[in-house]
Structure 1
Amino acid sequence: MELTLLVSLENCLLGILIFCFLIQLYFSLFVHLKLALVKVDEIPDRAAKPLSVVICARNETENLKQYLPVVLQQNYANYEVVVVNDRSWDGTKDLLEEFSKQYKHLKIVTVNEGSKFIAGKKFAVTMGIKATSNEWLVFTDADCMPASPNWLLGMQQPDDDQTEIVLGYSPYLKKKGLLNALIRFETFFTAVNYLSFALKGMPYMGVGRNMAYKKSLFFNNKGFAAHMHIPSGDDDLFVNAHAHHNNTAIRINKDAQVWSVPNTSFGAYLRQKKRHFGAGKLYKAKHKFILSAQIMVQFLFYVVFALLLFFKTTFYPALVILALSIIVRCFIYPRLLKRLSYADLSWWFPVLDLLLFIFLVFNGFVSIFVKKIQWK
């Protein structure tokens, strides 16, 4: 009787492992492979229409000093840069005024402390959008640096006027240490997901470090009114609510990417992911289901695999399934790592994949107990 129950348990666990493997194959071969094979659009050689860049900055003097000139010196015929000084006290105001003397297309918007002030980045973004002069808006952050002078040429409004949203890509700068590798790999995995699903006709998020949309889309849908109470989500929640297969395009050309400064401490990174986790709760139901299923399948895959190693009859079948999983994914993801400017992580893919899974589970657990979050 006990032997029969044991065999049934082994078969059940092996069946779960195979099921998880098949779900992995679906995401790898029928979603993410699209991004690996899609033709990368060339950067247009001319600026078709005027546009506005919107940057929100709070106490970002050093970053603005280093990166804002790259934004202000883009190879684009007609554009303005709107920088929102959001309650800074570190000299940001004086620095921006100095820049404005040299760059006439720089426009400064100041948000002051006050009893009527609405805390959060969304208020600053809204003030920046209101100050823009053009229909096409390109967004980035103060700690971001365009990969080339042709960044705006790549992120400009497409010829197809039906396109209202362009999702760009923003990798993190490489630094020493395991934390940096994990941050960059997590950014890669997130980007592969949202860019691939956009190609599949189901866009669900974008990143404010590099994205663009129409000003009319923002105001016709009352901006961030539906989720103004959430500290984060000025980028992903807006896209989640208003992007669909007919109005969204992606841009991953290396010249159209934007490099960003990563966190250097685990605590700061954890707080950043907590903000993102809070916004994700407001995603559309189908998007939450798909993203949750991805994590749960990965969780079950590793846990069930570990359990099967304790049984003699399933030890080798479990190893074979794990090997097949790694082989299939190593055929796809190193190619994507190279395409998305993380070629140095290719050899570490299997290890980082496991570490990322552990971190996501840990972050989800911590998020249950840590409630207070803010944008800066």
Structure 2
Amino acid sequence: MEIGIAFIVLAGFVLVNIIYYFFLARVGFYKSSLNNTSQDAVSVIVCSKNEQENLKTLVPLLLQQTHPNFEIILINDASIDDTLEVIEHFQDLDARVKKVDVVNNESFWGNKKYALTLGIKKAINENLIFIDADCKPASNNWLKAMASGFTNHKSIVLGYGGYEKKKYSILNALIRYETGITAIQYMSYALHGNPYMGVGRNLAYTSKQFYDVSGFIDHMKVLGGDDDLFVNQAATKDNTSVIIEPDAFTVSTPKNTWTKWWTQKRRHINTASYYKGKHKFLLGLYFFSQIGFFIASIVGFIFGINWLYILGLVILRYTIVWLVVGKGLSRFRESDIIPFIPFLEILLVFTQLGLFFTNAGKPPKRWK
């Protein structure tokens, strides 16, 4: 291979990477201010399947929220543990807690979207805010902060859902890096007027928006996607807002084994093929440019005579990555993993490649 070709190919991938990272810089350098004056009532919706212990932690934290007017819809999605009994206990303690008990039927067996639809129908308020049962609000102002994203024109609010830190764990660092880089992507896209996904751990939209697109009907049979596929279908540059304030974060307990995390990510990645064509193209090009950069760098160092030019391109690319991704991770309070960005990026990219090939052979069938 000629040195000139190797350098040109690598330079092409680096250029594409740099363009993407300048695009993704929007989150790290975004200046926002919360409008905490909204007094509009909201409904918090929690879908729970075998979550008896997590609900005992979450519900008291929700009841302590400073928002002046809210209800909590707790959905028992055909649990086989004592989730229903825990929900009924909180319902007896506080009138703001409402119960939805889902019994599986043949058409929607094990489908989270069916359970969520019943919860949405139960809500009495227009503004709906979603959090998972295994999450915790980062502050007592979480509900107020997320609700501030609703305005006369904004019917979808995207928030950040992070994970707890665990020292000396490569898996934990990878989970938090993947969560951070995903948020940097979907929030930057939204801030540029091209929203494509959100996460159910911290997401809000109006019931009118839900019914305007006929809910989840277009992807009811797809495992997962109650968050990202809904946003991909319903979100526009005009109706979507982003809340990046620390008070608006949620925190979840991450998977503690590679097997459990792999199973979880297989469910998540399964929905990407249903995104709109333009989003699949842009996200695919970004992923391809990352793979291409790694391969072209290796080939360039092996076959290149003047390796200093190759090294210069690699350093340029990683300087920009560290600046952009590091700024975004700092925004999400994930500064401790910034020094390990190159290692975590390589690990994540090739893990995603493995997930793609695994799902191509046998996609998952149940959400939980």
TM-score by length of 2: 0.96
Q: Which runs of 5+ in 1 are unaligned?
A: 1-5
Q: Which whole-Å CA distance do the structure 1 matches of 2:108 and 2:356 have between them?
A: 31
Which residue is 1:204 aligned to?
196
Write the letter of the residue equivalent to 1:279: T
Instruction: Encode CA deviations 1:280-338: one digit per residue, 9 max, x unaligned.
Output: 11100000000000110000100011011112424222111111111122222222111
CA contact (8 A) 2:38 2:148 kept: no
Q: Which whole-Å CA distance do the structure 2 matches of 1:279 and 1:358 have between them?
A: 19
CA contact (8 A) 1:81 1:106 kept: yes
- Structure 1 stretch displaced more, 318-327 or 136-145: 318-327
Which residue is 2:123 aligned to?
132
Q: Return closer, same or farther for 1:115/1:205 CA change in 2, 3 Å cut-off.
A: closer
Q: The residue matched to 1:75 in structure 2 has which SS?
A: coil
Q: Which whole-Å CA distance do the structure 1 matches of 2:325 and 2:150 have between them?
A: 31
Instruction: Encode CA deviations 1:196-221: one digit per residue, 9 max, x unaligned.
Output: 00001100000000010010111121
Q: Which whole-Å CA distance do the structure 2 matches of 1:277 and 1:166 have between them?
A: 22
Q: Which runs of 5+ in 2 are unaligned?
A: none
Q: Give the fraction of aligned pairs with identical amino acids, expressed as a percent.
A: 36
Q: Which whole-Å CA distance do the structure 1 matches of 2:91 and 2:321 have between them?
A: 49
Q: Which whole-Å CA distance do the structure 2 matches of 1:43 and 1:171 have between them?
A: 23
Which residue is 1:26 aligned to?
19
CA contact (8 A) 1:204 1:243 kept: yes
Q: Return closer, same or farther for 1:141/1:25 CA change in 2, 3 Å cut-off.
A: same
1:157, CA displacement in angstroms?
5.0
1:13, CA displacement in angstroms?
2.3
CA contact (8 A) 1:271 1:373 kept: no
Q: Which whole-Å CA distance do the structure 2 matches of 1:280 and 1:330 have between them?
A: 26
1:58, CA displacement in angstroms?
0.4
Which residue is 2:104 aligned to?
113
1:278, CA displacement in angstroms?
1.5
Q: Which whole-Å CA distance do the structure 2 matches of 1:372 and 1:236 have between them?
A: 17
Q: Is residue 270 from structure 1 mapped to residue 256 from structure 2 by the alignment?
A: no
Which residue is 2:51 aligned to?
60
CA contact (8 A) 1:47 1:77 kept: no
Q: Is residue 190 from structure 1 mapped to residue 169 from structure 2 by the alignment?
A: no
Q: Is residue 36 from structure 1 mapped to residue 28 from structure 2 by the alignment?
A: yes
The correspondence for 2:230, drawn from 238, 246, 256, is: 238
Q: Return closer, same or farther for 1:117/1:36 CA change in 2, 3 Å cut-off.
A: closer
Q: Return closer, same or farther for 1:165/1:324 CA change in 2, 3 Å cut-off.
A: same
CA contact (8 A) 1:167 1:249 kept: yes
CA RMSD of aligned residues (A): 1.4
Q: Which whole-Å CA distance do the structure 2 matches of 1:231 and 1:137 have between them?
A: 22
Which residue is 2:84 aligned to?
93
Write the letter of the residue equivalent to 2:17: Q
1:160, CA displacement in angstroms?
2.9
Which residue is 1:78 aligned to?
69
Q: Which whole-Å CA distance do the structure 2 matches of 1:115 and 1:203 have between them?
A: 34
Q: Return closer, same or farther for 1:181/1:210 CA change in 2, 3 Å cut-off.
A: same
Write the letter of the residue equivalent to 1:11: G
Q: Number of aligned pairs? A: 367
Q: Return closer, same or farther for 1:89/1:306 CA change in 2, 3 Å cut-off.
A: same
Asked which structure has the greater CA Rg, the reply is 1
Which residue is 1:165 aligned to?
156
Q: Which whole-Å CA distance do the structure 1 matches of 2:105 and 2:304 have between them?
A: 68
Q: Is residue 281 from structure 1 mapped to residue 273 from structure 2 by the alignment?
A: yes
Q: The residue matched to 2:251 in structure 1 has which SS?
A: strand
CA contact (8 A) 1:155 1:251 kept: yes
1:59, CA displacement in angstroms?
0.3
Within 5 Å, which residues of 2 pair with 1:338-353? 338-353=330-345
Write the letter of the residue equivalent to 1:132: A
Q: Is residue 15 from structure 1 mapped to residue 19 from structure 2 by the alignment?
A: no
Q: Which whole-Å CA distance do the structure 2 matches of 1:114 and 1:227 have between them?
A: 18
Write the letter of the residue equivalent to 2:307: F
CA contact (8 A) 2:44 2:128 kept: yes
The correspondence for 1:324, drawn from 275, 297, 316, is: 316
Q: Return closer, same or farther for 1:224/1:117 CA change in 2, 3 Å cut-off.
A: closer
TM-score by length of 1: 0.94
Which residue is 1:334 aligned to?
326
CA contact (8 A) 1:150 1:255 kept: yes
CA contact (8 A) 1:43 1:255 kept: no
Q: Is residue 104 from structure 1 mapped to residue 95 from structure 2 by the alignment?
A: yes
Which residue is 1:3 aligned to?
none
CA contact (8 A) 2:198 2:231 kept: yes
Q: Return closer, same or farther for 1:256/1:137 CA change in 2, 3 Å cut-off.
A: same
CA contact (8 A) 2:6 2:304 kept: no
1:364, CA displacement in angstroms?
1.4
Q: The residue matched to 1:141 in structure 2 has which SS?
A: coil
CA contact (8 A) 2:35 2:148 kept: no
Write the letter of the residue equivalent to 1:131: K
Q: Is residue 299 from structure 1 mapped to residue 291 from structure 2 by the alignment?
A: yes
Which residue is 1:228 aligned to?
220
Q: Return closer, same or farther for 1:93/1:357 CA change in 2, 3 Å cut-off.
A: same
Write the letter of the residue equivalent to 1:34: R
The correspondence for 1:155, drawn from 146, 149, 152, is: 146
